[in-house]
Structure 1
Amino acid sequence: MTARKNESWDAFWTEVTGTGTEVIRGVTVRVPTDIPLVMEQRLKAIEDDASDEAVHEMVALLFGDGVLDQWIAAGMGLMELKTALAWGSAHAAGSPVSFREAYDAVVAAEAAEGKAPNRAQRRAASKSPSASTGGRSKPTSSANTGSARTRSRA
């Protein structure tokens, strides 16, 4: 293999990774092809930080400066943002997915987060209303519903 004279790293890397773009909410973004090293570091540092600043930073690292503001102005919702981030992250990690696959992954992740209801939720769910009145059934004494005791034949 012969090296090209005067080929820059940037030209080489563009050739290797491509320069694809997609339009998301009217904003043309480059398809991420690698996760920036600074993003890996920042993700660990802001793992529990859901502030606007942290979200802006992550979107900028993945898609470019100002993209989140453009998406917000275009009316993007939270589920759309999560889907776009899942799609971009998958591409950046070298595992390209479709928008549908990214959306399905977000929905599955959100369903998994809410899978363990707390005790109060389980109790409320088990108390179903009475069919005729819509209210709870009142307990009935054992005198009205119990059976007579049988005596031993011994």
Structure 2
Amino acid sequence: MTARKASENESWDAFWTSVSRPKTTTIRGVEVAVPTDMPMLVEQRVEELHGSDQLEDIAELVAMIFGQDCLTKWRDNGMGLLEFRVILTWGMANARGKELSFQEAYELTQETVAEGKAPAPNRAARRAQSAATGGRSKPTSRGSTGSGRTRSRS
């Protein structure tokens, strides 16, 4: 394997920029980088913020993927909820390495809505729903979960 002289002194940042070839697009008047990789911190923060309905938490995650203040600017520029869901679908797919067009993201979002697979309710909503039914869950049948009786071989 032959290494080029120029690449020996090249920084990681310069190398990665040349390999990833960042592109931009305009979404609701805001120029954003097309996500091509998922920041490692995003997965951790998604886990930590799971169930949160705080706008600040959503804005933090959007900023990690699309850039600072995107959510505020999009909202101020009239972005609707469906539009936001399409952009998230598009951004997350691209960030995971699957190039997806806006049209494909829209169709996926529409399929999800049609199938009734809306985003999972936050923790408070799930608890409220559980509390509304009242009482505990019914135990599982012992016949399907219990072990069979063993007989001695005598």
The verdict on a shared fold, with TM-score over 0.5 as the criterion, is yes
Q: Which residue pairs with 2:109 in the alignment?
A: 106
Q: Which residue pairs with 1:2 in the alignment?
A: 3
1:59 to 34, 59, 62: 62
Q: Which residue pairs with 1:13 in the alignment?
A: 16
Gaps of 5+ in 1: 116-154
1:87 to 87, 90, 93: 90
Gaps of 5+ in 2: 119-154
Instruction: Specify the SS of the correspondent of 1:88.
Output: helix
Q: Percent identity?
A: 43
What's the C-alpha RMSD, in Å, of the aligned pairs?
Answer: 1.6
Q: TM-score, normalised by structure 1?
A: 0.70
In structure 2, the CA distance between the partners of 1:10 and 1:43, relative to structure 1 (3 Å rule), is: same
Q: Greater Rg, structure 1 or structure 2?
A: 1
Greater shift in the superposed pair: 83-92 or 1-10 = 1-10
Residue by residue over 1:84-129, the C-alpha shift from the partner in whole angstroms, topping out at 9 and shown as x without a partner, is 11111110000010001111111111222269xxxxxxxxxxxxxx
Q: Which residue pairs with 1:35 in the alignment?
A: 38
User: How far did 1:8 drift?
Assistant: 1.0
Alignment of 1:68-147 (within 5 A): 68-113=71-116
User: Within 2, Cα distance between the matches of 1:43 and 1:22?
Assistant: 25
User: Within 2, Cα distance between the matches of 1:39 and 1:68?
Assistant: 16
User: Within 2, Cα distance between the matches of 1:6 and 1:67?
Assistant: 36
Instruction: Specify the SS of the correspondent of 1:32.
Output: coil
